[in-house]
Amino acid sequence: MYSWRVLRTLAGLLLCLPIVHVAVILAAGLERYLDPSPETWKQSLEEIIEADMTTSLPEDPVLVVGGQRVRLWKDLPAQLSPLPTLLRPLGDATIEDISFFYDRLIGYYQPRVLVIFPGYADLHLRDSKSPQDFRAAAKKLLSLDESYGTTTRRVLIVPLMTPLHPADDERIRAMGDIATALESEHPSLVSIDPNALLQGQNGRPDPAYFQSDGINLNSIGYARLSFLLAERIRKMAAPATHQRQDRLTQ
């Protein structure tokens, strides 16, 4: 027979196992965040490749790339219908990580529209981009995509201000200005700054649009972002439609 003290100790250890398990998972995730090499997301890319083998891929899709925020954007394909839409989140990748895996993550799909959604990792933990860093990383990815010659339109979403990090607001505003300026350097580019649409009356991000972590959007926030992107893509497609109609009437 075991003593009451031993049994109580064993019970306490068993109760702690779930907490220890969560801690191990979080530690593994943090390790990937802090690894500066893009190779840290290689397993995530392999999961994308495996999933592609079990589905029929559309031609000329709207392709959305990024990290965790793309993974959580579940309502977007329905919002962009009938346009075929592919969400391809790569771990919690930075813009540089996406450029590193460009061939398989973007070029493979030959998208008609490429949507780049920078994430939390570009500002915290994995990287801490200045506005100038943001410009350099975005410009490299845009130029790389242009060199392949398949994408006809590109959308760059400005990083999100969050309830958790008010100190980020100024550099994100500067990144918004940079994204707008990049349009003149890349004629096929349009930038989208969703931050005004996600603000409350105090001019700061409204927690009602974010999850309890104060970082990621909730379903209401994503619905607003989806509407903004859908409207912009439809406006981008309109000139091409008019041009086709003009050719038909000539």
Q: Is the Cβ–Cβ distance between 135 and 178 less than 8 Å?
A: yes
Sign of the alpha-carbon torsion through 62, 65, 68, 69 = negative
Q: Is the Cβ–Cβ distance between 43 and 103 less than 8 Å?
A: no
Give the whole-angstrom CA distance, residue 137 versus residue 140.
5
> Closest by alpha carbon to 94, among 126, 50, 53, 133?
126
Give the whole-angstrom CA distance, residue 225 versus residue 215.
15
**What domains appear along the chain, each with residue ranges and CATH number?**
40-244 (3.40.50.1110)
Give the whole-angstrom CA distance, residue 182 versus residue 174.
12
Written as tens digits, the pLDDT of the chain (250 aa) is 445 443 444 444 345 444 433 343 344 466 766 787 999 999 999 999 999 999 999 999 999 999 999 999 999 999 999 999 999 999 999 999 999 999 999 999 999 999 999 999 999 989 999 999 999 999 999 999 999 999 999 999 999 999 999 999 999 999 999 999 999 999 999 999 999 999 999 999 999 999 999 999 999 999 999 999 999 999 887 654 444 344 333 3
Give the whole-angstrom CA distance, residue 49 versus residue 51.
5
Q: What are phi and psi of 229, to 5 degrees?
A: -70, -45
